[in-house]
């Protein structure tokens, strides 16, 4: 291989390495942003669950004041509502944490993959340099 061709290969490989690192960084940033959006969505859903609980408790109290509660005492009905809320919230928390953890692993994987690709480009550049001289 001629010196010019080898030099062009080295430059090309180094540019590819830089682009691969940049692409991996952008991909990782996108994944992190998705994780942040998931965290915000989970927070919004938690607020909606709390609102539903408060509305249910208010409706149960109003019903008790207007003529009684069927199917148990007001305290039992409200305790069940709170228990249902707690179980739903716990499930949502576990699911949200799992999605966040997965997103973090994906971001780390994207960065690592970019490093491997960059190393491949660097090795190509080294091989081209070795052929020159």
Q: What is the pLDDT of residues 105-119, one digit of tens each?
A: 888 888 888 888 878
As to burial, measured by CB atoms within 10 angstroms (0-12 exposed, 13-18 middle, 19+ buried), residue 24 is buried
Q: Is this model's pTM higher than 0.75 or not?
A: no
Residue in the structure block whose two tokens are 């997965």: 102
pLDDT at 58: 87
pLDDT tens digits, one per residue of 66-94: 776 565 677 887 888 888 888 888 888 88
pLDDT at 42: 85
- Give me the percent of the chain exceeding a pLDDT of 70: 90
Domain-wise residue ranges, the chain: 3-132
The model's confidence at residue 3, banded by pLDDT at 50, 70 and 90, is low
């Amino acid at each position: 291989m001629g010196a010019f061709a080898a030099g062009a290969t080295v430059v090309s490989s180094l540019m590819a390495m830089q682009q691969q690192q940049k692409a991996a960084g952008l991909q990782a940033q996108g994944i992190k942003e998705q994780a942040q959006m998931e965290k915000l969505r989970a927070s919004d859903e938690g607020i909606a669950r709390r609102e539903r609980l408060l509305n249910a408790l208010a409706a149960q109290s109003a019903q008790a004041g207007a003529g009684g509660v069927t199917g148990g005492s007001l305290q039992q009905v409200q305790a069940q509502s709170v228990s249902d809320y707690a179980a739903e919230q716990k499930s949502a928390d576990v699911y949200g944490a799992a999605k966040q953890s997965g997103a973090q692993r994906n971001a780390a994987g994207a960065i690592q993959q970019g490093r491997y690709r960059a190393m491949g480009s660097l090795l190509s550049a080294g091989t081209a340099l070795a052929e020159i001289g």
